[in-house]
Structure 1
Amino acid sequence: MEQLVVQLQAVGFSAYEAKAYTALVEAGRPLNGYEVAKRSGVPRSTVYEVLGKLAARRAAYEVADESDSVSYVPLSPAMLTSRFRSNMDHVVNSLESGFDLLSTPAQARLTHAISGRPDLLDRCQDVIRAARTDIFVSVWPEELDVLRTDLRRATDQGVDVSVLCFGDPGEPIGYSYQHEFSSPDQVLDNVGCRLMVVAGDRERAVIGGLDGSDTWGTYTDDAAVVAVSVEYVRHDIAMQLLMRRTSGDESIQEYWRTAKELMRLRSDHGEPAERLRQMAKARGRR
């Protein structure tokens, strides 16, 4: 019940209104002011004022019995939450329209550093939720689990979603692919961290690295960096599809393992992550 009171306050109820409303719902029958005060902890001196405010919100209604004694019943929680959702959608739509009128061509591009896994994933969710046309994601299972709900919602809204996962992606989301030709352990050894990319609408991207307790990353809407991020994911997906098609060809497998040209590209074990760490530390000292 305490959590419900907190959540109702988050959508505009006062603490007393939230307590009175939850008491009405919990009772399952009409309550008079004395009963609401007793059940909710709202002071008797103010309970009728609080119930009046709930009635004004149309979150509760007065009912009278044969003796004309006034009691109160709540608007059903299903209808209340539906009303909140509708009101919030209206507010958000109005904000979008208003900001569209204010928008002017950007004079500068935004790029900022991110530290800490929660902040990194929050920024990834921002990019996913803002996307309207396409999303490209290169990710590891641990982080995909956090982003899954938002990615699923994006696909349901018609956004074209492409996901490349370094490990089992679980239930497919949009166009999902597992990085198969190099194992996750090999990739981790080569890169030195769980490198991830989330790009939305080819307008904004988050690039991050996670290694144990260390997390660092960057958000950007710089068109050049976003383009490179998208092409990185697209190219990696294309490589996986080609390798999957030729997986039975031993000569290709042998070439991948032993070709000097490819071995040279894999020779800097952990160096990409180490450079990212140094950059993150340098930012932290500023």
Structure 2
Amino acid sequence: MLETFGFSHYESRVYEALAAGDTPMDATMVVKHSGVPKAKIYEVLQRLVEKGLVLDSLSEKKKWYTALPPSSLIDKLTTQFEQDIDALKTSLTKKTLRDDRIWNLKAASSIRAESRHLIQNATKSIRFSAWSDDFAAYAALLEEREREGIDVEVLVVGRNQWKLSRVHELVPTEEHEGLERYQLVVVDQEEILLAGEENGAWQAIQTRAQPFVKFFADFFYHDVALASITQKHYDLFMGDEEVRKMLIRLRY
């Protein structure tokens, strides 16, 4: 009967013989009642002891064996079966593999929709950078996500007029006339969308590849630091032509 549960033929016969007996047995008695060859009996008994189906005891220099009560065996097998089922469910659960590909996305409306989708589905943090007029399309959603407890930090190119806790402002000067529009979204330090405008058309890349995510997350903080330092020491930096040109080149 135990063969149904993965035990060997000999193990099944030995357990059944012990369970049917009224008293403990020694190895010789087990051989007689189970029909298992004497050459195999100690090996089989030891396996059943290790599996917890048979109890052993040493008395008067002789080893005695008795079976785990059938009710306890049923409980043991039931518990083991349920654990095996749980383990199977876990092993069969679909594994989420990171998509490290870089996806290209075109059309301003599609880029805007996907950016909003990323912002809406962020679970921990959002880093967002855009020009002020483009930023207006996302401001209300970002404010809502911040109220929901998401860590939101923003860099706006142009004048800021929104009610976010951490908004950094970069106001371009005349020397920035060659600056092209861009937009960067970094969510949960797991995914980025970088969009830019070229010849009047928008295009973007989107990826979860970690080298790119880390690079553009660092790029965001590079911009934040540069904007903050420039704003704080504007007269000092802008009054020095060499430093001014260096700062313009660093950012743009």
TM-score (norm 1): 0.50
Aligned pairs, number: 161
1:258 and 2:242 are equivalent in the alignment:
yes
Hey, what does 1:220 align to over in structure 2?
A: 207
How has the CA–CA distance of structure 1 residues 253 and 261 changed in structure 2, closer, same or farther, with 3 Å as cutoff?
A: closer
1:171 and 2:185 are equivalent in the alignment:
no
Which secondary structure state, in structure 1, belongs to the residue aligned with residue 159 of structure 2? coil
Aligned-pair CA distance for 1:247 = 2.6
Which secondary structure state, in structure 1, belongs to the residue aligned with residue 182 of structure 2? strand
Please tell me whether the aligned partners of residues 197 and 205 of structure 1 are also in contact (alpha carbons under 8 angstroms): yes
How has the CA–CA distance of structure 1 residues 107 and 196 changed in structure 2, closer, same or farther, with 3 Å as cutoff?
A: closer
Q: How much is the aligned-residue C-alpha RMSD, in angstroms?
A: 2.7
Hey, what does 1:239 align to over in structure 2?
A: 226
Identity of aligned residues (%): 14
Please tell me whether the aligned partners of residues 126 and 185 of structure 2 are also in contact (alpha carbons under 8 angstroms): yes
Please tell me whether the aligned partners of residues 160 and 174 of structure 1 are also in contact (alpha carbons under 8 angstroms): no
Unaligned ranges ≥5, structure 2:
1-91
1:44-83 → structure 2 map (5 Å cutoff): none
Distance in 2 of aligned mates of 1:248 and 1:260: 10
After the TM superposition, list the runs of 4 or more consecutive aligned residues in structure 1 that deviate by more than 3 angstroms.
Answer: 185-188, 263-267
How has the CA–CA distance of structure 1 residues 203 and 247 changed in structure 2, closer, same or farther, with 3 Å as cutoff?
A: same
Distance in 2 of aligned mates of 1:263 and 1:164: 17
Q: Deviations over 1:140-181 (max 9, x none)?
A: 12221111122112101111111111111212323111103x
Distance in 2 of aligned mates of 1:178 and 1:110: 32
Q: Deviations over 1:184-240 (max 9, x none)?
A: x54451x4x201111100101110012463111111111111111111111111122
Please tell me whether the aligned partners of residues 119 and 126 of structure 2 are also in contact (alpha carbons under 8 angstroms): yes
Q: Give the number of the structure whose alpha-carbon radius of gyration is greater.
A: 2
Distance in 2 of aligned mates of 1:107 and 1:221: 7
Please tell me whether the aligned partners of residues 197 and 206 of structure 1 are also in contact (alpha carbons under 8 angstroms): yes
How has the CA–CA distance of structure 1 residues 109 and 178 changed in structure 2, closer, same or farther, with 3 Å as cutoff?
A: same
Distance in 1 of aligned mates of 2:216 and 2:141: 20
Unaligned ranges ≥5, structure 1:
1-100, 270-286
How has the CA–CA distance of structure 1 residues 104 and 116 changed in structure 2, closer, same or farther, with 3 Å as cutoff?
A: same
